[in-house]
């Protein structure tokens, strides 16, 4: 794709912007995707470890996985895609509604300067008690554990505060997402395969709200998604700055 041929969006024409990002926007920062070539889910054991149905037996393996993921994310830097979104929020956030929803747990949006980020799948840098009845609130945590840490309140095991397979997105987060989708007039999806629900259904909600819907991914959607009005096949770190008139 010739990036210079992309016509920048006139943001002033829109009131409620909804941005959805996935693992693809962090590839340029050196982090793996989930379902693309070389993705994490190509490794069958990772899928077993990341399934909540296998807890608590897989907690040692889960912490080994998140020790690696935390270390990788801490060593990574936000790229042009993260920075473009943060700059869009800075420029337009006081004038228009700009909702950023990410499927990522790497914290790179925040490090790029994005203030409000709705994290669908939690954060690799939060930890909580495995026992939902425990009074311990999820807390910021960058420790690289070599063994399963113990809860300081109840003594039970702690776990990463992320949404695993067999778990649902927190209701307060999903409700906010659905509320914003119902009023958005511009929907941009970047770096996500668009095949995992409920995120795969978000563009449908935006289309029903009458929004302009744009998909940005390294590969074309297969099969094509009729709810996207436009698709740009390319790297998010190249397309987004141009699309937002920042490059």
Strand pairing report for 186-190 and 230-233: unpaired
Beta bridge partners of 165: 51
Region 161-190 average pLDDT: 96
Residue 231 clears pLDDT 70, i.e. is over it? yes
pLDDT band at 41 (very low <50, low <70, confident <90, very high): very low
Residue 209 clears pLDDT 90, i.e. is over it? yes
Q: Cβ(15)–Cβ(185) under 8 Å?
A: yes
Q: pLDDT tens across 64-123, in order?
A: 999 999 999 999 999 999 999 999 999 998 999 999 999 999 999 999 999 899 999 999
Active site residue 96: no
Alpha carbons 198 and 178: distance in angstroms, whole number: 10
Please state the length of the chain. Answer: 247
pLDDT of the residue at 223: 80
Domain layout of the chain by residue ranges: 1-31+78-121+169-247, 32-75+127-162
Region 206-219 average pLDDT: 95
Over its C-alpha atoms, the chain yields an Rg (Å, rounded) of: 18
Residue 232 clears pLDDT 70, i.e. is over it? yes
Run of H or E including 168: none
8, 174, 231 from 16: Cα distances, Å = 17, 17, 20
Joined together, the tokens standing for residue 101 give 């929803």
Alpha carbons 98 and 180: distance in angstroms, whole number: 9
Q: Is the peptide bond before 157 cis (omega within 30 degrees of 0)?
A: no
Highest mean pLDDT among 29-33, 52-56, 220-224: 52-56
Q: Is domain 32-75+127-162 classified as CATH 3.30.70?
A: no
Point out the catalytic residue in the list 82, 96, 109, 121. 121
Run of H or E including 188: strand 186-190
Joined together, the tokens standing for residue 57 give 């037996």
Alpha carbons 72 and 69: distance in angstroms, whole number: 5
Q: Is domain 1-31+78-121+169-247 classified as CATH 3.40.50.1220?
A: yes
């Amino acid at each position: 794709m010739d990036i210079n041929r992309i016509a920048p969006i006139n943001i002033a024409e829109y009131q409620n912007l909804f941005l959805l990002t996935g693992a693809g926007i962090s590839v340029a920062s050196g982090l793996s995707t989930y379902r693309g070539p070389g993705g994490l889910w190509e490794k069958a054991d990772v899928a077993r470890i990341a399934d909540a149905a296998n807890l608590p037996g897989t907690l040692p393996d889960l912490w080994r996985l998140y020790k690696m993921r935390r270390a990788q994310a801490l060593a990574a830097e936000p790229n042009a895609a993260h920075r473009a979104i943060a700059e869009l929020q800075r420029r337009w956030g006081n004038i228009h509604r700009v909702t950023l929803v990410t499927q990522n747990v790497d914290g790179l949006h925040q490090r790029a300067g994005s203030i409000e980020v709705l994290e669908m799948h939690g954060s690799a840098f939060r930890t909580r008690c495995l026992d939902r009845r425990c009074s311990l609130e999820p807390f910021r945590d960058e420790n690289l554990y070599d063994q399963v840490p113990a809860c300081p309140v109840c003594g039970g095991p702690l776990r990463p505060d992320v949404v695993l397979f067999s778990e649902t997105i927190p209701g307060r987060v999903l409700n906010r997402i659905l509320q914003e989708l119902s009023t958005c007039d511009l929907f941009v999806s970047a770096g996500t395969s668009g095949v995992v629900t409920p995120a795969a259904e978000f563009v449908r909600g935006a289309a029903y709200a009458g929004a302009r819907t744009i998909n940005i991914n390294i590969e074309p959607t297969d099969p094509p998604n009729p709810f996207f009005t436009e698709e740009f096949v390319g790297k998010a770190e190249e397309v987004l700055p141009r699309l937002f008139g920042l490059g």
